[in-house]
Structure 1
């Protein structure tokens, strides 16, 4: 689901329905190749761990911005996709370079910057989820009761399964919710398999099938995400190493992280070549390893082969494309909300003292403000307008600049930070022990 959902969202939002089956096939195909590269390890490329590679939700908002920009100037399907994949190809080499300087990158892109950007990613995608819940962008009956009921069924199923004590049900909550929603939609007559397109039995991967284009305006927001992506991937690889009982410090660990990030960047470039969105290491992978106790990279070889084979059959993508928008929207709401909460968690762990709160408040306010009132950019030159209409770009630039120029502060309890209720509660929970000697003196 994590591999194909970003492609489904992109195809639906940009009106690329005719290409979605092929794009889904390529997402599966490239995920298989990327997983094999990570596990097999070719020289300095690859972590040598069981790391499932897949298309990333982090890039959806900036890729949609690029697609809408090309579409607004009259670009057709080929121009939209050639620009998206051309931009992603060049931007991927940012991660390739940064993979060798991950320590220095952490000094510039601190947790307060990363958390702000990830929070903005999730919040900016909520509109997409709610639109799909209501029936999709082009729905004539937007907001109809049957659409809301389908989305509620999927959302409710995911919530219930996430609260059960069976680990496999919790891990598969989104898949089960989507499957149940799809089945109910079919019973309601909302899925018509007779409309499946006449597709070839197998898809042949064609490098840059839609052509190759580049646009600086579209490049900037994508490049911003590739600045953050290595830090997320480093955390996932560290967790994977820990669960797999591999070193998490020392030269072996550092070499593994650099090799894994280098593979991430090269896999993203390869994904663009084969008409797919950028690749990342899936964090969900760590939960499965911990649950099953299986961390052998030979399992990764099997999974990689399976994904490559599935990617050769476009009918799989065609069937998934028929999934009603409200079914997908119910799951999207959870997934995008989870992205936002992950950012908030990073911010909380970074410490929301006065300096960090100022950075977060201004950055998120600017990002969401531009998204809510795009007319504020009306007087800017068109090139700047197109760059800053992305909430991710605006928020990220604000966070990075403020983080550089606002001085670090000594964190101490100040008068306006004092919470009397919290202090009383602490005293009640941890009452002072009476001094026995003082008692005798009284």
Structure 2
């Protein structure tokens, strides 16, 4: 596993492992345990001195037993003090080999810890078994089936939508939409599908309702704007014609136009309607099969897309959609949020009842987790090794000692007690063997 380097190619400067408030509490506990272990060592040393003096003063056999027990206790305490201290620093500052193990082997320990985690916690079998035992799909089904949780999911989705729309710049979205729509439209020839649509519409008579609507509007306009027709005729007449003649001609034109429109409305077999049907059918055929017509439609499409009005229409459409979605997301009683909530509840119900769907969901989750584990195991474990490698040796040793040092002090206490008992037993056996 490679060590991290800075831009110059050399390893980065070690950083100090910061101590947290919890570390400060552990430090106080460690000091108390060190004081207790050292105090016990001092106590057995005093007992040893007093018992030895008593033995030499003729106090009796008991003094030898006490002195032997105290002496062995001191040896055990000192040996265990040396072993514990050698993990974190050099005892008494002496350059004794194989001491200060953690500071000198910090990087190797970090790599070993990363490998240990990768092999024993991020293996494919461990991940698969753990996910299988969790039953994620069944838990998700039960959770999503609750109306309270569905409300929470809907609220979180609404918050995410609002946040996403707030972060997005309208100009960027409009540019992307305009480019996507323009590219899609330019890549697709519209004449054949437009011709087929028009042919089906004419064959089904769907265009007749539109013609009826246009004729009705035309009739209403002619009835309400008779003077406009008369003024148009009079304005186009030669200057030498009498005014009353122009008036009568205009009136006749108005009556004929109105009669023509009324007759078209009244009869579906009107020649003008039949002519319109033939024109539309012929135009639909040309849109599909006439190269010249198709080329003209493509040019018209390209010119229309390039017009500023079309781009402004796309921009205004995005603004309208954005405002609509934001309003719906903020309103707890909007149709959008109601449908989202119903969809969440429906998903929970389906997951609860459908074993195959749950199995499929569990398979997706397992596949995704295995992909991450197999593809990025080294990157994940390197977080451990690289972080430890980036710490300076002294603070790393100190931080580790804070976490395990208090328990290690029990080794010193046990060494003192066990050493004393062993010394007492050895002394007793020696006296018995010697008669």
Give the alignment's TM-score, normalised by structure 1.
0.19
Larger Rg: 2
Which one scores higher on RCO, CA 8 angstroms, separation ≥ 6?
2
Of Structure 1 and Structure 2, the greater helix share is in 2
